Structures are given as C-alpha cells and as structure tokens.
Amino acid sequence: MNITQMKYFITAAKCLNFTKAAEILFITQPALSRQIAAIEQELNMQLFIRTNRFVRLTPPAEVLLREFERIYDDYNLAIANARNSFQGLSGELNIGILEGMYVGDLFPGILKYLAEYYPNIKINLHTYSFNDLVKKLYQNELDIIFTLYFDLKDREMLRYKVIEHTKDHVVVHKDHRLANAKFVKLSDFKDDTIIMVSTEDSEESPRLILDACKTAGFTPNVRFASSLSEEMLWVEAGVGVCILDSRNLLYSNPSVRFLEVESLSDPSLTMAWHENNYNPMKKIFIENFALDHPLKD
C-alpha cells in the first residue's frame, strides 16, 4: 500500500460517503471504490460495510483509521521538516480572502511579525469567490482562507475558527425608498430585484437567501451575478438590493445603506484550513494571528 492509497482510505473512512470522499479527493467515485477494493484485497480484510442506506467501518478498519492517520501525519510532517532543515524555514504561505471582504485591520500585525522573524517566507494574498476558496483549500493551493461561517460549517476535513461575529444586512442604494429605515423585514423587498451570486460562485449563499424569502412568504425577483464584486456593483448602481454582512467593503460606501434585518444566516468572519495541510508556516500564522485576534469556536 502506498501513501496515496492511505490518504484515500482515511478520507473515505472519515466521510463514510464514497461520493463525497471522491469529491474531496478530486477523483471519480468508481476510481475511489477500486482503490478501496485493492486495499482490502492486499490486506485480506473487509474495511467497509456498504448498503443502499449507509456506509460503516468494520472493527479492523476503525483500528487502521487511527493508526493510518498517525502514520500519514508523521509522513507529511517529516517531508515538511526535511524541506526546511538546511536553509531555515522558507517557502510560501498562500492565503485566500473572500472577494469584497474588508480585512485591512486584520493583517498588519501578523504580516509585520512574519516579515521580521521569517524573512525567507513569501506571503501570497489572493482574493477568490466562495467556491474557489474552498476548492483551492482542498487542493492545497491555499493554506488558509478567510470567508464566511455559513459556507464552512458542514465541510468535511476542514478546521476553522470564528474571528468576528457579524450579521446580515439588506443593502440598498441611498435613494431607495427604505434607505433611512432603522430596521426592515425581508418581505419589505418583495417587489424589488434581489441580486445574489449564482450557484456557480456559491451553492450555499443563494440557497439561504431563497429559503429566507420563502419563509417570509414571497418568491423574489432575482438577478444572479457572476461574483460578489458584480453583485456589489449592481447594488451600488441602484439596480437592486442584496444581502451582505457588515465586513463587506460596501459598508463604508456613501452611495449605499446597510439596513438591519432579521437573521438569515451566520455570516461571521471565519478563518479555515484543511486538516491535512502540512505547511509548517500555517501553524505559525494561526498561533500568532490569534495573539492579536482571539479566535472563537
């Protein structure tokens, strides 16, 4: 058995869903099933009980999961340490930030610290959409991401900490009829065009908004935007209204108003990382970031 097969087994065993595990591993479900079958044949033991209703680990598989996780972690840590053993800690740390999110107050302290104590580390800051952030995190193209809590809470093999509790607002142009309202209900906008990102950009965000509209008793007039940046531009132009959190860059824009509304989701600012990412700088970043910004569960 090789280290890749070990990774396949660990992922399948933790997900207990071969389709979901295959998506995380970026392989097809039949390919994953073949690899698991090959492992079972090599070890001469059944590892999974699979029916139409559930997938369950056998007792030997539960033992292997504990041991394989330890071996897999040790292997990746050994590789990371070996790469940095001769020239001191060096390399890159790739950080992804949700587009449209204001994080200017979060990074000065940690970036200054890293520049002083880890000058050989290249820090790359990128902005992406919801889906691209998570995809690149699973692919280890990003080491850490900053996004909204509702897009992370049910993801497999991701760890996260809330940085700041934020809430939803209805965002309208300053000339909108309700621009001066202190508090609004979602049903107040049943005749407005509600702009939201498409499902290609985020599966969760439009679903949450559409469900909230349904609960409020109406079917919204929807205009889908290809990205958060486009959504923000349409609202700034007065073409429609949208739902954004108070960390959005538009919050300080004088051409729009952020109106308080009943909670639609939990858009809290959240930092996340993949549990199988072994970049040694990831731990250093998280620990020192937390000194300036205490993390919440």
Q: Which domains does the chain have, with CATH numbers?
A: 3-83 (1.10.10.10), 91-165+269-292 (3.40.190.10), 168-261 (3.40.190.10)
In this predicted model, what pLDDT tens digit does every residue of 60-116 receive, in sequence order?
999 999 999 889 888 877 776 666 544 445 578 999 999 999 998 999 999 998 888
Name which of 225, 138, 217 is nearest 243 in CA terms: 225
Q: What percent of the chain has pLDDT over 90?
A: 68
pLDDT recorded at residue 86: 43
pLDDT recorded at residue 83: 60
Give the confidence band of 263 by pLDDT, cuts at 50, 70, 90: confident
pLDDT recorded at residue 154: 82
Structure tokens at 198: 């498409």
Query: 26-30, 35-39, 116-120, 235-239 — which is least confidently predicted?
Result: 116-120
pLDDT above 70: residue 161? yes
Mean of pLDDT over the chain: 90
pLDDT recorded at residue 76: 77
Q: Confirm whether pTM is higher than 0.85.
A: no
- Say if strands 269-274 and 158-164 run parallel, antiparallel, or are unpaired: antiparallel
Average pLDDT over residues 273-282: 88
| pLDDT greater at residue 212 or residue 25 | 212
pLDDT above 80: residue 180? yes
pLDDT recorded at residue 80: 66
Average pLDDT over residues 6-28: 90
